[in-house]
C-alpha cells in the first residue's frame, strides 16, 4: 500500500520583489494552499536584507510547501493565476526513496504469523505443556511450518485491512434533514453578521488591526464556504432529465438530435438546482424546435443530418455558467426585427444593434414560429426563461451566427445565501450593488457627462456613451446628489447592456448575507433582498437587471439619446 501511495506535491514559491506593486498578496496564496491541505516545509530567507536595508514594500521571502498527492496540479497552479509577473513557481512530485517502503514491509510481516502460531499450538497437546513457560519452544516449532504460513498471512492481513476501508467508505455519507441544514446556514449567516459588527466596534476603538481579528474573519469565511458547500449538488440531477426531453422532441419534430453533455458534476447550491429545471427545459425545446433544421434541410446546407445540442456547466469567476448550444440555423435577425415591428414591440424606424435584436426574443408574447404547436409558437417560453433566471440573480447572454448555430449562456450565482457586494450610499440610505454586475467605478469630469434635450445624462466611457441612471430618483430617496460630476458613477453590466448607476459615495466592499424581502416584508421592484451591516443598519440589495429594465421600459433607454447626440 505504501508503494502505491501517490507522492506529495512540492510547491516552491518565490514572489517577485515588486509583488505588492501589482496588487498581489503572497500570504493569501499561501492560505489557499493550506486550505487545500498543504503544510509549510521551509522559508527561504536568502534574499532578506539586514534591518537597515529592509524595504517594507518589497517581497523577500520564498516558501516551500507540501500538498497531498491527490491534489490536482491545475488547481495548485490556478492559485497563482493573478500572481505578479516575476513570481517564480515550481510544482513537482516529491522523490520517493525505494528502500524505505521495502524495509517497512519486511519488518511488518512477522507480526501477522504470531497469532497463527498461537492458534495452531493447542493442536499438539504434548508440546503445549513443555514450551509454555519458555519462548524458545515457539522458535523451535516455527521453522518447519512457516514456509506456507507467511504466504497465507499477508493475504489474510490485506483482506482484514480492506474490510474496514470498505466500511469506512460506506460510512462517508449521512442523510440530514433539509430543515436542519437550512438552520445551520442561517446560524452561520448570523455569525458572519455578528463578526462584522465586532470588527466595526473594534475599528471604532482603534483596535481594528489586531491579528486575531483577521484570523477570525478568515475562519468565518472558511466556515461559511464549507457550510455552503454542504448544500451544493451536482448539475447531473438536472442534466439527467434532458435525454428524455430530447427523445420526445425527436418524435414530435421528426428531427435527429445528438446530445453532448459537459460538466455534469459541476456543483451549485441546492436552491439553484431545484429552480433551474424549467428555464433549462425551455432552452432545450427552443434549440431543437427553432435552432435545428430538419435532416433534409441540414444535408442541403452541407451539414450532417443529425443535429447537435450541447449542454455544459462550468464555474467561472465565482459563478456557474450553464450553456445550451446548437449547430442549427442561428438567429435570423432581419426576421426577428420584422416580427417585432409587426407586433408593435419596436418602432418601424428603430435602429438596433445585433445584441438588442437578439434580446427581442425575450419580449412577452414574441414568437417567430409560423404554426402554434405543443412545442412553440405561444410566445411564452423565452420570456419565462428570462424572468426565472433574473429571479435567481442571474443573467442570460446570446451568441448566434446565421447558418452556424446559437448559444445561450446562463450566468448564475453559486449560492443565493451570500454575495460579494459594494456598499454605497444614496441620500440617507445604504444600498448593496452585487459585484458580479460592476465593471468599474469613477468620478467623472464635467466634460465627460453630456445632457441632450433635457433627457437623462450620458457618460463618455472611452468613446462609448453610456446612459446614467439616478438610483435616488427612481427609488424615491431624498437628499441624494443630483449632479453627476459631484457623484460617484458605477458602470454596471445587465441583460439590457451597460448602464451607469449614480450614487453619493462608496463605503466598502464585502461579502454579505442575503435576507429575503418577500419572507420578511413583501417583494419590491428593483430590490433583490436586504442584509444587516456591521453597525446594525439594514442595507437593501439592488436588483440591477430589474432597475435597468424598468428604466428602459419607461422610455428612457439609450437609443433616443444616442440618436440626438449623433445629430
The region, left, alpha or beta by phi > 0 then psi within -120 to 50, assigned to residue 420 is: beta
Average pLDDT over residues 462-472: 87
- Of residues 3 and 22, more confidence is placed in 22
In this predicted model, what pLDDT tens digit does every residue of 314-355 receive, in sequence order?
887 667 899 999 999 999 999 989 888 888 888 888 888 888
Q: With pLDDT > 90 as the criterion, what percentage of the chain qualifies?
A: 19
Closest C-alpha among 469, 482, 458, 442 to residue 546: 469
Architecture of the 418-566 domain: Beta Barrel (2.40)
Looking at the predicted structure, is the pLDDT value of residue 278 above 50? yes
Task: Check pLDDT > 60 for residue 99.
Answer: no
What is the number of alpha carbons within 13 Å of residue 539 lying toward its C-beta? 28
Task: Average the pLDDT over 468-497 and give the result.
Answer: 87
Return the closest-CA partner of residue 367 out of 389, 393, 335, 396. Answer: 335
Please tell me the distance from the alpha carbon of residue 411 to that of residue 399, in angstroms, as a whole number. 14
Q: Which residues contact 80 (CB under 8 A, 6 or more apart)?
A: 13, 29, 87, 89
pLDDT of residue 312: 94
Question: pLDDT band at residue 475, thresholds of 50, 70 and 90?
Answer: confident
Q: What confidence score (pLDDT) does residue 260 get?
A: 94
| pLDDT exceeds 90 at position 383 | no
Pairing of strands 306-316, 256-262: parallel
Please tell me the distance from the alpha carbon of residue 269 to that of residue 234, in angstroms, as a whole number: 9
Which has more confidence, 390 or 487? 487
Closest CA to 85 of 17, 145, 155: 17
**Mean pLDDT of the residues in the chain:** 78
Query: Could you give the strand order of the β-sheet that contains 405-413, starting from the edge strand earlier in sequence?
Result: 256-262, 306-316, 319-326, 405-413, 395-401
Q: Using pLDDT thresholds of 50, 70 and 90, give the confidence band for residue 38.
A: confident
Phi, psi of 265 (to 5 degrees): -90, 5
According to the model, what pLDDT value does residue 554 have? 60
- pLDDT at position 284 is 92
Give residue-wise pLDDT tens across range 114-144: 444 434 444 444 444 444 444 444 333 344 4
Question: With bands split at pLDDT 50, 70 and 90, how would you rate the model's confidence at 86?
Answer: confident
How large is the angle between the packed helices 381-391 and 277-286, nearest 10 degrees? Answer: 150
Residue-level length of the chain: 567
Note whether 105 and 37 are within 8 A (CB): no
pLDDT score of 411 more than 70? yes
**At residue 501, does pLDDT exceed 70?**
yes
Q: Which cell goes with 303? A: 451539414
Report the pLDDT averaged over residues 418-423. Answer: 87
Q: Give backbone dihedrals phi and psi of 10, rounded to 5 degrees, phi first.
A: -110, 115
Average pLDDT estimate for 71-83? 84
Most confident of 385-389, 422-426, 533-537: 422-426
What is the C-alpha separation between 31 and 12, in angstroms, rounded?
14
pLDDT of residue 259: 94
Q: Using DSSP, state whether 444 is helix, strand or coil.
A: coil
State the pLDDT at residue 514: 85
Q: How confident is the model at residue 239 (pLDDT cuts 50, 70, 90)?
A: very high
Q: Which of 64-78, 348-362, 444-458 comes out lowest in average pLDDT?
A: 444-458
Can you give the pLDDT at residue 201? 83
In the chain, the percentage of residues whose pLDDT exceeds 70 is: 79
Strand extents, DSSP E, 239-354: 256-262, 267-269, 306-316, 319-326
* Confidence (pLDDT) at 413: 83
Confidence of residue 553 (pLDDT cuts 50, 70, 90): low
pLDDT of the residue at 97: 55
Residues in a beta bridge with 421: 434, 510
Q: From the centroid of its chain, how far is CA 103?
A: 47
Q: Which residue has the higher pLDDT, 166 or 420?
A: 420
- Rounded distance between C-alpha atoms, residue 229 and residue 227, angstroms: 5
All cell numbers assigned to 184: 445551520
The span from the CA of 549 to the CA of 389, in Å, is: 14
Q: Please give the DSSP secondary-structure letter assigned to residue 6.
A: P
- CA pair distance 492, 509, nearest whole angstrom: 15
Mean pLDDT, to the nearest integer, of 154-160? 42
pLDDT over 90 at 313, yes or no: yes
Cell of 200: 466595526
Q: For 304, list phi and psi in degrees, rounded to 5.
A: -70, 145
Does residue 192 register a pLDDT over 90? no
Residues 436-447 have pLDDT tens digits of: 889 899 898 888
**Which pLDDT belongs to residue 317?**
64
Q: What architecture (CATH level 2) is domain 9-93?
A: 2-Layer Sandwich (3.30)
Write the class of the CATH domain 233-368+379-413: alpha beta
Give the ranges where 301-366 is alpha helix by DSSP (H): 333-342, 354-359
Q: What φ, ψ does residue 337 adopt, rounded to 5°?
A: -65, -45
Q: Using a cut of 0.95, tell me whether the model's pTM lies above it.
A: no
**Are the C-beta atoms of residues 529 and 515 closer than 8 Å to each other?**
yes
Domain boundaries, the chain: 9-93, 233-368+379-413, 418-566
Nearest-10 Cα torsion for 181, 187, 189, 190: 170
* CB neighbour list of residue 109: distance below 8 Å, 6 or more residues apart: 150, 153, 154
First to last CA, the chain: 78
Comparing 31-35, 104-108, 263-267, which segment has the lowest mean pLDDT?
104-108
- At 558, the pLDDT band (50, 70, 90 cuts) reads very low
Span 518-524, average pLDDT: 77
Q: Output the pLDDT for position 306.
A: 92
Contacts of 21 (CB under 8 A, 6+ apart): 57, 84
Amino acid at each position: 500500500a505504501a508503494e502505491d501511495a501517490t507522492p506529495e506535491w512540492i510547491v516552491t514559491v518565490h514572489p517577485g520583489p515588486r509583488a505588492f506593486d501589482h496588487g498581489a498578496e503572497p500570504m493569501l496564496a499561501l492560505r489557499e494552499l493550506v486550505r487545500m491541505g498543504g503544510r509549510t516545509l521551509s522559508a527561504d530567507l536568502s534574499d532578506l536584507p539586514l534591518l537597515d536595508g529592509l524595504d517594507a514594500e518589497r517581497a523577500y521571502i520564498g516558501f516551500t510547501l507540501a500538498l497531498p498527492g491527490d491534489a490536482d496540479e491545475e488547481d495548485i497552479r490556478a492559485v497563482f493565476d493573478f500572481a505578479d509577473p516575476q513570481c517564480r513557481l515550481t510544482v513537482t512530485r516529491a522523490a520517493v526513496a525505494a528502500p524505505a517502503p521495502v524495509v517497512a514491509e519486511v519488518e511488518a510481516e512477522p507480526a501477522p504469523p504470531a497469532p497463527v502460531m498461537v492458534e495452531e499450538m493447542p493442536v499438539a497437546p504434548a508440546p503445549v505443556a513443555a514450551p509454555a513457560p519458555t519462548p524458545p519452544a515457539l522458535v523451535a516449532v516455527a521453522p518447519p511450518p512457516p514456509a506456507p504460513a507467511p504466504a497465507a498471512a499477508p493475504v489474510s492481513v490485506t483482506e482484514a485491512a480492506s474490510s474496514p476501508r470498505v466500511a469506512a467508505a460506506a460510512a462517508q455519507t449521512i442523510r440530514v434533514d433539509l430543515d436542519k441544514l437550512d438552520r445551520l446556514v442561517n446560524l452561520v449567516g448570523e455569525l458572519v453578521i455578528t463578526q462584522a459588527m465586532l470588527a466595526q466596534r473594534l475599528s471604532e476603538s482603534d483596535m481594528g488591526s489586531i491579528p486575531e481579528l483577521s484570523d477570525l474573519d478568515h475562519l468565518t469565511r472558511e466556515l461559511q464556504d464549507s457550510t455552503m458547500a454542504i448544500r451544493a449538488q451536482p448539475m447531473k440531477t438536472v442534466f439527467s432529465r434532458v435525454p428524455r426531453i430530447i427523445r420526445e422532441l425527436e418524435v414530435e419534430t421528426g428531427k435527429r438530435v445528438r446530445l453532448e453533455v459537459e460538466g455534469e458534476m459541476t456543483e451549485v447550491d441546492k436552491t439553484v438546482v431545484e429552480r433551474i429545471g424549467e428555464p433549462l427545459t425551455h432552452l432545450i425545446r427552443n434549440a431543437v424546435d427553432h435552432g435545428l433544421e430538419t435532416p433534409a434541410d441540414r444535408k442541403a446546407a452541407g451539414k450532417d443530418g443529425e443535429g447537435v445540442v450541447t449542454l455544459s456547466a462550468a464555474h467561472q469567476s465565482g459563478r456557474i455558467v450553464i450553456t445550451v448550444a446548437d449547430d442549427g440555423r442561428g438567429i435570423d435577425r432581419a426576421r426577428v426585427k420584422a416580427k417585432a415591428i409587426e407586433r408593435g414591440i419596436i418602432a418601424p424606424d428603430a435602429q438596433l444593434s445585433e445584441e438588442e435584436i437578439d434580446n427581442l426574443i425575450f419580449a412577452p408574447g414574441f414568437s417567430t414560429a409560423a404554426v402554434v404547436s405543443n412545442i412553440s409558437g405561444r410566445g411564452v417560453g423565452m420570456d419565462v426563461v428570462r424572468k426565472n433566471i433574473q429571479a435567481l440573480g442571474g443573467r442570460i447572454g446570446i451568441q448566434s451566427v446565421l447558418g452556424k448555430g446559437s448559444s445561450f449562456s446562463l450566468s448564475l450565482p453559486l449560492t443565493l445565501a451570500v454575495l460579494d457586494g459594494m456598499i454605497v450610499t444614496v441620500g440617507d440610505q445604504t444600498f448593496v450593488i452585487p459585484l458580479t454586475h460592476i465593471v468599474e467605478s469613477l468620478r467623472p469630469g464635467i466634460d465627460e457627462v453630456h445632457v441632450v434635450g433635457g433627457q437623462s445624462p450620458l457618460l463618455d466611457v472611452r468613446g462609448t456613451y453610456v446612459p446614467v441612471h439616478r438610483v435616488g430618483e427612481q427609488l424615491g430617496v431624498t437628499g441624494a446628489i443630483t449632479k453627476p460630476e459631484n457623484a460617484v458613477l458605477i458602470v454596471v453590466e445587465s441583460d439590457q447592456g451597460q448602464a451607469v448607476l449614480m450614487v453619493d459615495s462608496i463605503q466598502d466592499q464585502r461579502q454579505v448575507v442575503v435576507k429575503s424581502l418577500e419572507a420578511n416584508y413583501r417583494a419590491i421592484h428593483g430590490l433583490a433582498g436586504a442584509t444587516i451591516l456591521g453597525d446594525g443598519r439594514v442595507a437593501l440589495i439592488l436588483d440591477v437587471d430589474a432597475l435597468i429594465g424598468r428604466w428602459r421600459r419607461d422610455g428612457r433607454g439609450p437609443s433616443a439619446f444616442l440618436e440626438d447626440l449623433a445629430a
